[in-house]
Structure 1
Amino acid sequence: MSTAPARPRLVTDRRQRILDAAGPVFAEHGYERSSVDAIAKAAQVSKPTIYSHFGGKEQLFRIWVGEVARQTTEDAVRAVQAIDVTPKKWRASLVGATTDLVVAWHTECAASLARIANAEVGRDPEIFTVLRESAHDPVIEALAGRLAMLGNAGHLTVPDPVLAAKQLIALARTELDDISEFGTKPAPVTVVRRVVKVGVETFLLAYAA
């Protein structure tokens, strides 16, 4: 019986195993001191297998950064997309979704990623692009869409939803750069909730209809 149909699954599983193994290596040693040998050993694959899937350590690192960035924000993006636009719930829903988003960006996992990415972005500016496309842009797109819906419902006055989304996030994180040392340390959830609530209230002073 032919086993050909199972090959794509096998390839996908092996690729994910390499990414899963690369994470702890990069997190512990940083990019420069992490070796393809160490990642191959952790993933229980050969070095040629890693080169076959990723082309080399640099591309593997970029893909790993993008995957972790997506994982840290995917739940928050879903929360943003579910913001309730009904008259009685939209304010609390906006605060809750923005809080979920900011909490996701200040966990231990997110802080570890920020430390590694910040250290490497000077060497490889493409890392900034990866982070923007994997985490920042999807969040802005989702949030802008919901803010536009709140505007259409008459709750907000939003002439530029994308700008409004960026301003909301900036206000919600105003104090957290100091508290988290620019995202490189996790921020306590209780502190995040307080900061976000104040930021959303400030945002609504400007945008509430």
Structure 2
Amino acid sequence: MAPRDRRRDILEAAAPIFGDEGYERASIEAIAGRAGVSKPTVYSHFGGKEQLFRESVADSARQQNEAALGAILALDLSPQNWRESLFQLGLALADCSLSPCSVYLDRMIAAEIGRDPEIYEVVQTRAVRPVQEALAGRMAMLGNAGHLKIDDPARAGRQFLVLVNAELPDLTMLGTRRISAEEFEAAVRLGVETFLRAYAS
């Protein structure tokens, strides 16, 4: 049996507690209890609550980054498949935005950016910018292949992300309400079709 990764256990326990309770109300005791470790173990790995909070935000951003980058790199650029593949990419990116990891991350940023502005930069560096850069690269490739008319791939990528997620905050009540697969796909397809009306050759 592999030894327990207590650091990973603590990070996985911390994210939902920080997301639900916020920094001030979240306690090391509650995080330790959920992780199945002692409070001294938490302190030995992270030093204190502030460092654990930052590491939790960074870890959530990294997880969100990995899922989104994988979906972007899987985009099929072939003439016969690129439209459907773009829709599948929209589904994957929107699904990432509704994942528990992303929901907790958004809550933590909104609640704590006033107290700790560096949290915003952590998320930008670990999650947002790498995804935007990868998406801009794929948009440029779609343009070079003649599928899209794009002057600014970075802007097109940002607008694609916004459009595929545009309907979801209301439908899901900011991630607190479950919706059917049909509702989800219809909302994302609307966003992709709006994007294509603006950019398709």
Tell me the TM-score normalised to structure 2 length.
Answer: 0.83
1:185 aligned to 2:166?
Answer: no
User: Residue 170 in 1 paired to residue 129 in 2?
Assistant: no
1:130 partner letter: V
Give SS of 1:105's match.
helix
Percent sequence identity over matched residues?
A: 48
- Tell me how far 1:75 sits from its aligned partner: 2.5
Rounded to whole Å, the distance in 1 between the matches of 2:155 and 2:170 is 24
Larger Rg: 1
Query: What whole-Å deviation, never above 9, does each CA across 1:114-172 have from its counterpart, x for those lacking one?
Result: 23432222222222222222322222122111111111111112221111100111122
Q: Gapped runs of 5+ residues in structure 1?
A: 1-9
Query: What is the deviation of 1:87?
Result: 0.4
Shift of 1:197: 1.0
For residue 7 of structure 2, what is the aligned residue in structure 1? 15
Instruction: Name the residue aligned to 1:126.
Output: 118
* Partner residue, 1:145: 137
Is the alpha carbon distance of 1:60 and 1:179 closer, same or farther for their aligned partners in structure 2, counting shifts above 3 Å? same
1: CA distance, partners of 2:200 / 2:50: 46
2: distance between equivalents of 1:191 and 1:135? 27
**8 Å CA contact 1:73, 1:101 repeated in 2:** no
Unaligned runs of 5+ in 2: none
Number of positions where the alignment pairs a residue of Structure 1 with one of Structure 2? 198
RMSD: 2.6
* Equivalent position to 2:192, from 192, 200, 205: 200
Deviant stretches of 4+, over 4 Å = none
- 1:48-92 residue CA offsets vs partner (Å, 9 max, x unmatched): x54453342122112212212332452332111111111000010
For residues 183 and 175 of structure 2, the distance between their equivalents in structure 1, rounded to whole angstroms, comes to 16
TM-score (norm 1): 0.80
- C-alpha deviations, 1:29-51, integer Å up to 9, x for none? 3321222344345452453x544
